[in-house]
Amino acid sequence: MNKKIKSALISVFYKDGMDTIARQLHGLGVTLYSTGGTEKFIRDLGIPCIPVESLTTYPSILGGRVKTLHPVVFGGILGRRAVEQDVKEMQEYNIPEIDLVIVDLYPFEETLSQFGKAAADDTSAQAAIIEKIDIGGPSMIRAAAKNFSDLLVVAAKEDYARLEQLLTEQSGETSLEQRRAFAAKAFEVVMHYDIAINNYFNPDTALQTINTQTKHGLRYGENPHQQAVFYGNLHKVFTQLHGKEISYNNLVDIDAAIQLIREFNETTFAIIKHTNVCGIASRSTIHEAWNVALAGDPESAFGGVLVCNGSIDRNTAEAISEIFFEVLIAQHFDPDAFEILKRKKNRILLTAHPHLLEPTKQVKSVANGYLTQDNDEGNFGEWKEVGGRETTESEREDLLFANLVSKHLKSNAIALVKNKQLVGKGCGQTSRIDALRQSLDKARQFNFDLNGAVLASDAFFPFADCVQIAHAEGIHAFIQPGGSIRDKDSIDYCVEHKLAMVFTGLRHFKH
């Protein structure tokens, strides 16, 4: 059933865009009610506005903590127009019908972010954060959403454009379906807000929520028959400069690529395929790093996601353009390089801001629920030399590099590195020895000499067999977490054959 908006209650923290809506409502003859700063804002536009306290007969009290929490306000929102008793009581107590509620919430998360970790020990910061816990706002939003059969609720400034469209195209009338859709969004907004507050008070058992205020529909999911939606702010982490619409699989690989490249300080280029690293190298220039990374596995690079932590110049762009790839992520593109790369209209070109990645938790759906865990941060917990000799300086550099690479491979994972180039990798295998065999096969496929290479394993060696096989191929230095009840088997073999081995104490399973 269509409903005509005749009255509106507006109480917003952010006034951006509210001038247009206030003028539209006034032009439609809608009676406006408001509070505090919003009322002043509307009046300054030259638009009549009735203060809420004239309805409640109470001023804003307790430092603004109480101004809308009153039966007249909530009666006007919750009163059912089709229920005779509700209508009778509203008339008896002079409660006006409210047909539109526009309310946003105090900036709790923004305030929390402003103070950061220091807030835990700062009394004044804590007080400021607490004051941004909205009470009246969520209450009005929930009440209006509950009564969507009779009124429209707008709970986020991101929806102002939709409201403007309704006011323009439908002259202030709304359908039941439209009101229900806005109500659904309103409940999501309040849910997200409440979870953020919960996580502030319970950081050790923080809940996760989807930021439904930034929802982006995708063409399809992992496969064409699967529907998919992205929730979040893509533009905060990267900017798309060129190319087709980013797909579900693109996003998964882009995230893996950005998570990987942010680990490296040296000039580094990497190639990602199905979230696994198939080529990576650190060199003095981006062009050289690209050439060496590609040489690690030119076959798997086809159709991959490319990422680097520097600028793409003309020579590098020409070299990259020789192969087919889906996505290229860089810090910057020189103008002539960009002209070369954008010749293929579907190539996705992104500039990334990896330092702006915020989530410290990972979320995964399983069975009828969700798993959450902290991000896997860091390279190693300790550096414990346990082999038959100390590592050399060049081995230490390669071992650190290899350990980071293995961290970004699906388990079971083995990474073979030589001169900061991935020369062989095994990933996603059901046994560690299978992962090793796969990595050695890769190295042989592209004719790499493994003498002087190092090996990283994402988890401990349960037996000495991996060390023995790798040693036979010319590998003399290993890095692994340690922690097996049979660590001594691998250690003894290294001692006997003067091989270097480092225990990190930090496992990097990735499933």
Domains defined along the chain, listed by start: 3-205 (3.40.50.1380), 229-356 (3.40.140.20), 384-503 (3.40.140.20)
- Residue 211 above 60 pLDDT? no
For the beta carbon of residue 485, count every other beta carbon within 10 angstroms.
8
- CA dist 380 and 402 (Å) reads 12
- Residue 214 above 90 pLDDT? no
For the segment 5-23, what is each residue's pLDDT rounded down to a tens digit? 999 999 888 888 889 999 9
For the segment 356-375, what is each residue's pLDDT rounded down to a tens digit? 666 567 888 888 887 878 88
For the segment 173-196, what is each residue's pLDDT rounded down to a tens digit? 999 999 999 999 999 889 988 888
pLDDT at 216: 80
Cis peptide before 412 (omega within 30 of 0): yes
Estimate to the nearest angstrom the gap between the alpha carbon of 495 and the chain centroid: 45
Catalytic residue list: 146, 274
Radius of gyration, CA atoms only, the chain:
30
151, 123 contact by CB (below 8 A): no
What's the chain's length in residues? 511
pLDDT band per the 50, 70, 90 thresholds, residue 127: confident
- DSSP single-letter state for residue 227: -
For the segment 262-311, what is each residue's pLDDT rounded down to a tens digit? 999 999 999 999 999 999 999 999 999 999 999 999 999 999 999 999 99
